[in-house]
């Protein structure tokens, strides 16, 4: 009978672990996703051990090649998990021992799973974060491209979901582009804080064999070494920050989805989703449901739940490593997966959206030019606080006469203020209203094109760093 594999921590214990506790304790069913970075970290650590004379050059090479064989088994789905493989570190080391023998036992010298897992997570999140940054930039590009294509389309702008003032559809699209640009910048900042090396911190007190942590940092592509070993093994702020970033990004996706859901209803009819991102009803054959957008809106709650759940676990943990920190990986993985799909779906929805220009145009009504009517009098020298009241009176007059605001005669308007002249007719032009908003950040064509240009220049800059 083959000997039962020894646990990495088993020497202290004489009794067997309750099978239920075995299952409760293990994390291999989810942390196996980090197999590749775990192997990479171990290869670097073997080199650092060789530098200190713990490993010979031949032993280091054996370990390196053995770990490569383990990597290939994972990649080809040939890696066989066994009882006792409680986490990815144990599984990889166990398999390495089977492949190269007892020399594998030297690999863990001076290293703890505490600093090993912290390193694995930072490596994994660094790689995944760069993929997410790419998807985020693709979404921003899709919005900017669509905004340029649809630059001449006007629509009602809303506050309180009530028609407010005319704007360019492109102006609305670019508002989301700037939200997502902020998300991209936040992601870059948190990845910079993530990219610091904890390996060499040991269990909590540091490494007793003077391994070169600067060498490990360079070898693994970290920007810096974490200078305090206690902090190195216990810090999961980078996970919390990632979950917050995911929550904010999904909040912006959810808000965009909500706008498009409303605009795609028959009552609005401003946009129509491509069939590829819609579904039908099992009962009502006429239905075309915006399921992609509803799922995006719903997944925002999922991501927020991951963040709040982890923070509740994280807030009460005493110093250094505690097993509660096993709760850090599943939310990190789930949020990464959710954001990966959500960003790509959102980009595709924007790129394939059909915009009904005529429906947007038809939704523009004269009352949306009431502020322009007030501005007309401002240009005649009347204080705005007076013109606001006068314009409101004109709206009430039109309601009483059951006519459009633009159908009030100059004589009607003169009863409200003598400064009204025939040129008031120029106010009743939606394009003119939009073009009057020509200050920086406004909805005029020139200002929106400036926004598009600004985002495109930023995208070129960020692309050079991806």
Return all residues near 85 (Cβ < 8 A) that are at least 6 apart.
26, 28, 91, 94
Query: Torsion angle of alpha carbons 209, 213, 216, 221, nearest 10°?
Result: 170
Taking alpha carbons only, the member of 406, 408, 421 closest to residue 364 is 406
From the candidates 281, 308, 319, 389, give the one annotated as an active-site residue: 281
**Length of the chain as a residue count:** 466
Fill in the DSSP letter of residue 168. Answer: E
**CB contact at 8 A, 318 and 282:** no
SS3 content of the chain, % helix, strand, coil (to 5): 65, 5, 30
> What per-residue string of b and e applies to 367-378 under the rule 16 or more CB within 10 Å gives b?
bbbbbbbbbbbe
Q: Which position among 160, 282, 439, 464 bears the catalytic label?
A: 160
Task: Give catalytic status of residue 417 as yes or no.
Answer: no
Q: Is 340 labeled as catalytic in the residue annotation?
A: no
C-alpha to C-alpha distances, 283 to 280, 286, 421, nearest whole angstrom: 9, 9, 59
| DSSP symbol at 34 | G
Beta strands in 128-286 (DSSP E): 154-159, 162-168, 196-197, 224-225, 271-272
Question: How far, in Å, are 50, 105, 108, 209, 332 from residue 59 at the CA level?
Answer: 8, 11, 13, 17, 35
Q: CA–CA separation, 122 vs 237, rounded Å?
A: 11
Stated as kind and residue range, the H or E segment containing 135 is helix 113-149
Positions annotated as catalytic residues are: 160, 281
């Amino acid at each position: 009978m083959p000997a039962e594999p020894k646990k990495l921590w088993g020497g202290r214990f004489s009794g067997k672990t309750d099978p239920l506790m075995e299952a409760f304790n293990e994390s291999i069913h989810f942390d196996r996703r980090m197999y590749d970075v775990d192997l990479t970290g171990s290869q670097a650590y073997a080199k650092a051990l060789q530098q200190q004379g713990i490993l010979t050059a031949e032993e280091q090479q054996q370990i390196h090649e053995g770990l490569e064989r383990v990597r290939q088994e994972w990649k080809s789905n040939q890696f066989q998990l066994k009882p006792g493989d409680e986490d990815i570190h144990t599984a990889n080391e166990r398999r390495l021992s089977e492949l190269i023998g007892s020399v594998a036992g030297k690999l863990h010298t001076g290293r703890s799973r505490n600093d090993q897992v912290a390193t694995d997570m930072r490596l994994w999140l660094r790689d995944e974060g760069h993929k997410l940054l790419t998807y985020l930039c693709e979404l921003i590009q899709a919005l900017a491209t669509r905004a340029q294509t649809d630059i001449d389309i006007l629509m009602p702008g809303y506050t309180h979901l009530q028609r407010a003032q005319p704007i360019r559809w492109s102006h609305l699209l670019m508002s989301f582009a700037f939200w997502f640009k902020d998300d991209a910048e936040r992601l870059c900042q948190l990845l910079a804080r993530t990219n610091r090396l904890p390996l060499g911190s040991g269990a909590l007190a540091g490494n007793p064999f003077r391994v070169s942590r600067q060498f490990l940092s360079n070898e693994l592509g970290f920007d810096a070494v974490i200078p305090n070993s206690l902090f190195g093994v216990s810090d999961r702020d980078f996970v919390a920050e990632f979950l917050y970033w995911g929550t904010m990004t999904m909040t912006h996706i959810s808000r965009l989805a909500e706008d498009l859901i409303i605009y795609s209803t028959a009552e609005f009819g401003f946009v129509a989703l491509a069939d590829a991102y819609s579904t039908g009803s099992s009962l009502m054959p006429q239905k075309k449901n915006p399921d992609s957008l509803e799922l995006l809106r719903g997944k925002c709650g999922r991501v927020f739940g991951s963040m709040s759940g982890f923070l509740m676990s994280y807030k009460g943990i005493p110093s250094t490593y505690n097993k509660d920190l096993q709760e850090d990986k599943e939310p990190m993985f789930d949020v990464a997966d959710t954001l990966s799909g959500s960003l790509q779906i959102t980009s595709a929805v924007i790129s394939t959206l059909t915009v009904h220009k005529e429906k947007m145009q038809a939704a523009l009504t004269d009352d949306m030019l009431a502020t322009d009517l007030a501005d007309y009098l401002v240009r005649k020298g009347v204080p705005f606080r007076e013109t606001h009241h006068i314009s409101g009176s004109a709206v009430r007059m039109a309601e009483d006469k059951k006519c459009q605001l633009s159908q009030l005669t100059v004589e009607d308007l003169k009863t409200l203020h003598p400064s009204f002249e025939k040129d008031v007719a120029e106010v009743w032009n939606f394009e003119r209203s939009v073009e009057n908003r020509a200050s920086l950040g406004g909805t005029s064509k020139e200002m929106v094109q400036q926004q598009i240009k600004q985002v495109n220049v930023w995208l070129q800059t960020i692309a050079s760093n991806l």
